[in-house]
């Protein structure tokens, strides 16, 4: 959710964006090959981030249990 702007703030921001014209300097893939790679990024990284969150939750649960049980946490890190 974005900031809660007043109507006046939104109007000023819209005018500023129209002056800046950020779309004129937007970058992105310009070749067909680059566009193909970019199109697949969401699928690859979206799945990876989902797996990462699951593994991170499992790790946090393990560490919480370890600290709660008073076990040595030195064995978990380098």
| Predicted confidence pLDDT, tens digits, the chain (78 residues) | 567 889 999 999 999 999 999 989 888 898 999 998 888 887 777 766 777 788 888 989 988 888 877 766 566 555
Task: Read off the tokens for 77.
Answer: 């890190």
- Give the pLDDT of residue 53: 80
- Give the pLDDT of residue 2: 64
Q: What are phi and psi of 6, to 5 degrees?
A: -75, 170
> What single DSSP character describes residue 25?
G
């Amino acid at each position: 959710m974005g900031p809660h702007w007043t109507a006046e703030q939104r109007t000023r921001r819209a005018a500023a964006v129209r002056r800046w014209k950020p779309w004129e300097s937007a970058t992105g893939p310009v070749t067909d090959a680059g566009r193909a790679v970019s199109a697949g990024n969401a699928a690859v990284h979206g799945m990876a981030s989902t797996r990462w969150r699951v593994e991170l939750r499992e790790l946090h649960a393990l560490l919480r249990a370890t600290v709660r049980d008073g076990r040595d946490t030195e064995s978990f890190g380098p």
